[in-house]
């Protein structure tokens, strides 16, 4: 085995061990959440842990990325750890200042920085709420628009090329422009696995974007759970919008991204059609957001679902309509109906498992099963 093959193996092992480490942490957090009374959050967190176990084995056996993309991802993990570590130190420094000032009223406070105001707000009140305002709900659900970005990144939009293909071509050009330092860090530039305009790079870069987003969110989320919410960089950037069901449990954005990675992994191994994947991903993002926002704003006819949450008929209707439109666009009218049915079932019936986790997994698998059984064309271009 030559040197660069060994480097490739090192990055693969590091990435696999990262998933296994996340698995152990999520099993621990999920068990703690379940025992503390947060059963939905605890169970959903444990299921995420199972997904991380599968991701670790998949990467060890098949590999999410080809070299050097696995190395890029390991470096990304290091950068996110460093950024969160710096933010953690800044918050701890501000926390100590606040304690000193509270112990000695004679110490005058200077003009408050953004971090100082954030820490005071987070420590001055309970950051976890039983209900959140409509404005906060709107801010939370705005993150779901990333599902649209994912579709544009993969398919493009009218005259716009797939964003991942643009990124891939840009990276290739950059590598050719800085060949000596690249070869020092990553090996012979001739061994780079993709060429300009090659669509295979889109497939790998989309998974890289999904796992990169997971790492960006999950490290801050772990800090929130294990230490305290004020230490979470993601919480600082997105503003505090925490609910009780997130105490001692993962946040809903972690469920969503984890479910999407799982289904995209099934696509990469040939078990799920790409259009079935995007149908599930966009229904999970947009239909859930539509149901929540329309239900909060216009919901008059309340419904208590099996997990005791209160929702509305108007919200269910809005989510189902959006789900059918998404399915109609991507997989056609027949399979779209199945997407709506699964969306409704995961929204109404589960007691302990978050629909943000179930929808992006069960909808693509359900549609793929019926593609196999019915054999009808998928989408409008089949």
- pLDDT score recorded for residue 348: 84
pLDDT per residue as tens, the chain (382 positions): 688 899 999 999 999 999 999 999 999 999 999 998 889 899 999 999 999 999 999 999 999 999 999 999 999 999 999 999 999 999 998 888 888 777 665 555 567 788 888 888 888 777 887 777 777 777 777 777 888 889 989 998 877 888 899 999 999 999 999 999 999 989 999 889 999 989 999 999 999 999 999 999 999 999 999 998 889 998 888 765 688 888 889 988 999 999 999 999 999 999 999 999 999 999 999 998 898 889 888 878 887 877 777 788 898 999 999 999 999 999 999 999 999 999 999 988 888 888 899 999 999 999 999 999 988 888 776 5
Q: Are residues 282 and 336 in the same domain?
A: yes
Is 313 in the same domain as 257? no
Same-domain pairing of 68 and 168: yes
Predicted local confidence at residue 80, as pLDDT: 97
Do 194 and 288 lie in one domain? The reply is no
Same structural domain for residues 267 and 287? no
- 299 with 260, same domain: the answer is no
Joined together, the tokens standing for residue 151 give 């579709």
User: Would you call 132 exposed, middle or buried from its count of C-beta atoms within 10 A (0-12, 13-18, 19+)?
Assistant: middle
Do 95 and 205 lie in one domain? The reply is: yes
Tell me, yes or no, whether 223 and 311 share the same domain: no
* Among candidate residues 271, 302, 322, the one where a domain is terminated: 271
Beta-ladder partners of 346: none
Claim: this prediction has a pTM higher than 0.85: yes
Instruction: State how far the Cα of 156 lies from the Cα of 108, in Å rounded to an integer.
Output: 55
User: In terms of domains, do 203 and 65 share one?
Assistant: yes
Among the three residues 212, 245, 271, which one is the final residue of a domain in this structure?
271
User: If we measure between CA atoms, which residue out of 153, 151, 192 comes closest to residue 171?
Assistant: 192
Assess whether 18 and 113 both reside in one domain: yes
Do both 182 and 313 map to the same domain?
no
The residues with which 311 forms a beta bridge, in sequence order, are: 303
Same-domain check for residues 52 and 110: yes
How many domains, the chain? 2
Domain that holds residue 107: 3-271
pLDDT of residue 27: 96
- Taking the mean position of all CA atoms in its chain, how far away is CA 192? 28
Residue at which a domain ends, from 233, 248, 271: 271
Quote helix, strand, coil % in the chain, to nearest 5. 75, 5, 20
* Residue from 292, 267, 280 nearest 342 by CA: 280
How is residue 120 written in tokens? Answer: 């005071």
């Amino acid at each position: 085995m030559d040197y660069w093959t060994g480097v490739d193996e090192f990055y693969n092992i590091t990435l696999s061990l990262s998933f296994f480490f996340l698995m152990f942490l999520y099993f621990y957090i999920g068990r703690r959440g379940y025992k503390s009374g947060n059963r939905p959050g605890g169970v959903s967190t444990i299921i995420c842990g199972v997904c991380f176990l599968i991701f670790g084995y998949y990467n060890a056996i098949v590999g999410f990325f080809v070299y050097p993309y696995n190395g890029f991802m390991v470096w990304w993990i290091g950068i996110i750890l460093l950024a969160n570590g710096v933010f953690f130190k800044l918050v701890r420094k501000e926390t100590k200042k606040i304690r000193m000032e509270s112990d000695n009223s004679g110490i005058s406070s200077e003009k408050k920085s953004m971090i100082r105001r954030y820490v005071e707000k987070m420590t001055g009140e309970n950051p976890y709420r039983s209900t959140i305002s409509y404005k906060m709900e709107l801010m939370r659900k705005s993150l779901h628009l990333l599902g649209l970005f994912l579709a544009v990144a993969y398919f493009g939009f009218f005259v716009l090329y797939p964003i991942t293909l643009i990124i891939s071509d840009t990276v290739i050009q950059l590598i050719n422009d800085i060949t000596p330092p690249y070869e020092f860090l990553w090996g012979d530039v001739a061994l780079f696995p993709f060429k300009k305009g090659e669509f295979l790079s889109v497939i790998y870069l989309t998974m890289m974007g999904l796992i990169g987003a997971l790492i960006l969110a999950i490290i801050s989320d772990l800090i929130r759970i294990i230490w305290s919410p004020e230490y979470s960089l993601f919480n600082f950037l997105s503003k505090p919008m925490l609910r009780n069901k997130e105490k001692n449990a993962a946040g809903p954005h972690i469920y969503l991204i984890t479910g999407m990675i799982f289904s995209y992994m099934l696509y990469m191994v040939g078990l799920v059609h790409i259009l079935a994947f995007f149908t599930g991903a966009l229904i999970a993002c947009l239909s859930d957001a539509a149901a929540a926002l329309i239900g909060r704003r216009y919901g008059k006819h309340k419904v208590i679902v099996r997990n005791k949450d209160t929702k509305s008929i108007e919200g269910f209707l809005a989510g189902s309509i959006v789900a059918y439109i998404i399915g109609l666009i991507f997989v056609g009218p027949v399979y779209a109906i199945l997407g709506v049915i699964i969306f409704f079932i995961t929204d109404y019936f589960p007691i302990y498992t978050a629909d943000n986790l179930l929808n992006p997994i069960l909808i693509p698998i359900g549609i793929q099963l019926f593609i196999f059984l019915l054999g009808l064309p998928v989408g409008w271009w089949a």
